[in-house]
Amino acid sequence: MSSDFTEDLVSLLPRLRRFALTLTGDLDQADDLVQQACEKALLKQDQWQVGTRLDSWVYRIIQNLHIDQLRSQGRRSEHLHEDSVDELVDAGSKGLPERENMLSVLSRIIDELPEEQRLVMLLVAVEEHSYREAADILMIPVGTVMSRLARARTRIMATLEAADAGPERGKENA
């Protein structure tokens, strides 16, 4: 086992957890995912190509594990149904106990976005992955990345404009 590789993973942990938390909306689940993903990455480190982004590679492992877990739970992941997800509110997290925790950490701006839109925003707008890289990580077409970005930004802009217009109007648009 390469100690450098291990330490690279450790240094990525805050961002890996952020990605997993954005994916699951629950910190415990996120930590479980990150731990499993890191164990898998260590096991298959020879498959990672030096010179490529390690974070992208581990993100994809996390994404795969998450999909497998959803399947094993008998759930169909919303992001497998491209036609229906983009307009959905993140119904998966509504009403869950962890939503309370989520709200204490995430701002309303993030929390109001569906999971799929949060992920593309995180990857492209925050971590500056290219559209192609984001598409590879999330295993979706580039066009879907773009449409999710457009919807996410449109929603955020509307939230910001409502907030700028005043608290009362902001509540009406919430």
Partner 1 sequence: MRDDIDELMAHHDGELPGQDAERRFDDPESRELLGKLAKADKAFASAADELLDIPVPSKLVDAIRQPQPKTAEIIPFPRRRGIVGLAIAAGLATVIATNTQLFQPPANPGADAQPAGYAALLQETMESVPSGEMRSSDDGSVSILPMVSFKTDAATYCREFMSSQNGAEFSGVACRDRAGSWTLLSQQGGASASGGDAYRVAESREAKAEAPQTPNRAAELSYAEEQEAIRSGWKGSGL
Alpha-carbon distance values, 102 to 20, 90, 130, 140 (Å): 13, 13, 27, 26
Q: Which residue matches tokens 């992001």?
A: 79
Residue 51 beta carbon to partner 1: minimum distance, rounded to whole angstroms = 21
Q: What's the rounded Cα separation, in Å, for the pair 118 and 152?
A: 7
Angle between the 54-72 and 27-43 helix axes, to the nearest 10 degrees? 120
Give the x/- contact pattern for partner 1 in 124-143, rule: CB under 8 A: xxx---xx------------
Give how many residues touch partner 1 by CB under 8 A. 47
Alpha-carbon distance values, 62 to 52, 104, 140 (Å): 17, 24, 15
**Residue 157 binds partner 1 (CB under 8 A):** yes
Per CB under 8 A, the list member of 53, 82, 93, 156 interacting with partner 1 is 156
**Residue 54 binds partner 1 (CB under 8 A):** no
**Residue 105 binds partner 1 (CB under 8 A):** yes
Residue 93 beta carbon to partner 1: minimum distance, rounded to whole angstroms = 15
* Residues near 55 by beta carbon (within 8 Å), at least 6 away in sequence: 12, 15, 16, 127
Residue 40 beta carbon to partner 1: minimum distance, rounded to whole angstroms = 8
Q: Which own/partner contact pairs does 75-81 have at CB distance under 8 Å and 24+ positions apart?
A: 78/114, 78/115, 78/116, 79/115, 79/116, 79/138, 79/140
**Residue 18 binds partner 1 (CB under 8 A):** yes
Give the x/- contact pattern for partner 1 in 84-103, rule: CB under 8 A: --------------------
170 alpha-carbon distance from chain centroid? 26
Residues that bind partner 1 (CB under 8 A): 6, 9-10, 13-15, 17-18, 21-22, 27, 31, 34-36, 38-39, 42-44, 46, 68, 71-72, 76, 105-107, 109-110, 121-122, 124-126, 130-131, 146-147, 149-150, 152-154, 156-157, 160
